[in-house]
């Protein structure tokens, strides 16, 4: 049940109110920001909710069952608040958003009316709109372990245990040529065998994308060049001379785990699980269908 301060309730009952919406946004990296649709800044729990950002809220949809609540906020992209680069880089993905109803004439009078996570963000020019997903959204997400032939651990995590700091499993380089928005030719990686960094992770240490990370789609050697294909284009343009570090990747196959990393004992998949071909197999009219084992 939502507890409304008695002084705030009295003002609500009075018919004439001085109310504003405030949003406090907490990113997964711990950064906290505040915004309001009022024309002056408002402090909520020591977080300054900034005015002048064009923030507005849409009609919120609430349900009594376990269906996901829905709402939307929209605002302007500003260098000192929200930037297009930060949104594109995923820094706001799944951020927690608390929506407050605040009496701007006395900000201590406030009530938390919703707690959501940031969903799909749409950008158009200098404006954006963001979907707010209610707490019930977590119930719609898949959870638990999936039984698949491939490993479901991340290379180097606690379940995998592979040491990515070991020699031959990490490197550093720089961009010497750009073939497309997501394909670069790199220097400093000539000693590594082809494919070592496929499905690995690249972190930019210099340039406009410094601090951002991206998954490597493919690592190839072609005519003496080291060619890295990235799974997605970076939010800022890549330039010749940009530096990066990268770690090895894994295709999640048992043979790769056993032969490349000598880590078969920690493989987190089920390589013998029947696949779709086995499930949809039908009797062969030319075979001996006597009920014995299918294996020859």
- Structural domains present in the chain: 7-138 (2.30.110), 170-249 (2.40.10.170)
Does the model's pTM come out above 0.75?
no
The two three-digit tokens of residue 201, written as one number? 């992770």
The two three-digit tokens of residue 264, written as one number? 């078969």
In the prediction, which pLDDT does 165 show? 92
In the prediction, which pLDDT does 75 show? 61
Q: Are 208 and 243 in contact (CB under 8 A)?
A: no
Measured distance CA(257)–CA(153) in Å, rounded:
11
Q: What is the pLDDT of residues 197-254, one digit of tens each?
A: 999 999 999 998 888 889 999 999 988 899 999 998 888 889 999 999 999 999 999 9
Compute the chain's Rg from CA coordinates: 26
Burial of 265 (0-12, 13-18, 19+ CB in 10 A): exposed
User: What SS3 class is residue 154?
Assistant: coil
Q: Kindly give the parts of the chain with pLDDT less than 50.
A: 59-68, 295-296
Write down the residue that tokens 């056993």 correspond to: 258
User: What SS3 class is residue 246?
Assistant: strand
Strand segments, DSSP code E, in 104-155 are 110-124, 127-133
Strands, sheet with 70-76, edge to edge from the N-terminal-most edge strand? 42-44, 47-50, 32-36, 19-26, 96-103, 110-124, 127-133, 70-76, 56-57
In the prediction, which pLDDT does 3 show? 77
Q: Alpha-carbon dihedral of residues 8, 13, 15, 20, nearest 10 degrees? A: 30
Distances (CA, A) of 138 to 18, 116, 119, 194, 215: 34, 10, 12, 40, 26
């Amino acid at each position: 049940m939502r507890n409304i301060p008695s002084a705030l309730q009295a003002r609500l009952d009075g018919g004439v109110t001085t109310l504003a919406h405030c949003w406090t946004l907490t990113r997964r990296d711990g950064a906290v920001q505040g915004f309001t649709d009022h024309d002056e800044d408002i402090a909520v729990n020591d977080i300054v909710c900034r005015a002048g950002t064009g923030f507005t809220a849409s009609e919120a949809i609430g349900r009594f069952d376990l269906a996901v609540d829905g709402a939307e906020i929209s605002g302007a992209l500003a260098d000192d608040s929200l930037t297009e680069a930060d949104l594109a880089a995923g820094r706001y993905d799944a951020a927690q958003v608390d929506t407050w109803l605040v009496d701007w004439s006395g900000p201590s009078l406030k009530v938390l009316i919703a707690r959501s996570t940031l969903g799909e963000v749409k950008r158009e020019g200098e404006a954006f709109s963001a979907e707010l997903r209610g707490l019930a959204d977590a119930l719609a997400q898949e959870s638990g372990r999936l039984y698949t032939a491939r490993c479901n651990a991340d290379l180097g995590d606690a379940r995998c245990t592979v040491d990515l700091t070991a020699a031959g499993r990490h490197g550093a380089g720089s961009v010497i040529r750009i073939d497309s928005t997501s394909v670069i030719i790199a220097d400093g990686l000539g000693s590594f065998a082809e494919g070592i960094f496929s499905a690995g992770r690249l972190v930019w240490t210099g340039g406009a994308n410094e601090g951002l990370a991206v998954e490597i789609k493919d690592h190839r050697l072609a005519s003496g060049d080291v060619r890295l294909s990235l799974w997605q284009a970076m939010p800022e343009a890549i330039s010749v001379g940009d530096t990066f570090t990268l770690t090895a990747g894994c295709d999640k196959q048992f043979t790769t785990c056993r032969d490349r990393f000598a880590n078969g004992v920690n493989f987190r998949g089920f390589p013998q699980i029947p696949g779709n071909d086995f499930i949809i197999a039908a009797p062969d009219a030319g075979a001996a269908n006597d009920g014995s084992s299918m294996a020859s």
